[in-house]
Amino acid sequence: MSDRRRFIAGNWKMNKTIAEAEELVQALLPRVGAVEDVDVVVCPPYLSLQAVVDSARGSAVQVYAQNMHEQDAGAFTGEVSAPMLTEIDVAGVILGHSERRQLCGETDRALQLKVPKALESGLIPILCVGETEEERERGDTERKLRHQVQEGLEKVPKERLHEVVVAYEPIWAIGTGLVATPEQAQDAIAFVRALVQGFDKEAGNRVRILYGGSLKPDNAAELLALPDVDGALVGGASLDAESFATIVETARA
Ligand code: PGA
Burial, 23: exposed, middle or buried (Cβ in 10 Å; 0-12, 13-18, 19+)?
A: middle
- In ligand 1, the atom with minimum distance to the C-alpha of 175 is 5
Is the minimum distance from the CB of 106 to ligand 1 under 6 angstroms? Answer: no
Mean pLDDT, range 28-32, rounded to an integer: 98
Q: How confident is the model at residue 1, as a pLDDT?
A: 54
Mean pLDDT, range 33-43, rounded to an integer: 97
Domains in the chain with CATH codes: 6-252 (3.20.20.70)
Q: How confident is the model at residue 2, as a pLDDT?
A: 77
C-alpha distance from residue 48 to each of 12, 28, 44, 148, 158 (Å) = 11, 15, 6, 30, 34
Is the minimum distance from the CB of 212 to ligand 1 under 6 angstroms? Answer: yes
Mean pLDDT, range 94-120, rounded to an integer: 96
- From the list 70, 106, 151, 169, the catalytic residue is 169
Q: Which candidate, 117, 52, 119, places its Cα nearest to that of 90?
A: 52
Contact 252, 6 (CB under 8 A): yes
What is the rounded CA–CA span in Å between residue 235 and residue 116?
A: 25
State how beta strands 6-11 and 208-212 pair: unpaired
pLDDT at 127 over 80: yes
Q: How confident is the model at residue 3, as a pLDDT?
A: 87
Q: How confident is the model at residue 253, as a pLDDT?
A: 86
**Considering the chain, what percentage of its residues have pLDDT values greater than 90?**
97
Q: Which candidate, 36, 88, 31, places its Cα nearest to that of 63?
A: 88
- In ligand 1, the atom with minimum distance to the C-alpha of 167 is 9
- From the list 69, 70, 97, 151, the catalytic residue is 97
Is the minimum distance from the CB of 170 to ligand 1 under 6 angstroms? Answer: no
210 membership: H or E segment, kind and range:
strand 208-212
How many angstroms is it from 54 CA to the middle of ligand 1?
25
What's the mean pLDDT when you consider all of the chain? 97
Question: DSSP H helical segments within 125-210, as ranges?
Answer: 133-138, 141-153, 182-199, 201-206
What is the rounded CA–CA span in Å between residue 216 and residue 155?
A: 34
Instruction: Please give the torsion angle defined by the CA atoms of residues 194, 196, 198 and 203, in that order, rounded to the nearest 10 degrees.
Output: -110
pLDDT at 242 over 80: yes
Mean pLDDT, range 101-116, rounded to an integer: 95
Specify whether 97 is catalytic.
yes
3 versus 248: the higher-pLDDT residue is 248
Mean pLDDT, range 12-26, rounded to an integer: 98
Mean pLDDT, range 117-133, rounded to an integer: 98
pLDDT digits (tens, 9 = 90+) for 46-77: 999 999 999 999 999 999 999 999 999 999 99
Q: Atom 3 (ligand 1): residue with closest C-alpha? A: 235
What is the rounded CA–CA span in Å between residue 243 and residue 218?
A: 9
What is the rounded CA–CA span in Å between residue 154 and residue 171?
A: 23
pLDDT digits (tens, 9 = 90+) for 136-183: 999 999 999 999 999 999 999 999 999 999 999 999 999 898 999 999
Residue positions counted in the chain: 253
Compute the radius of gyration of the chain from its Cα atoms. Answer: 17
Specify whether 162 is catalytic.
no
Is the minimum distance from the CB of 243 to ligand 1 under 6 angstroms? Answer: no
**141 CB neighbour count, 10 Å cutoff:** 19
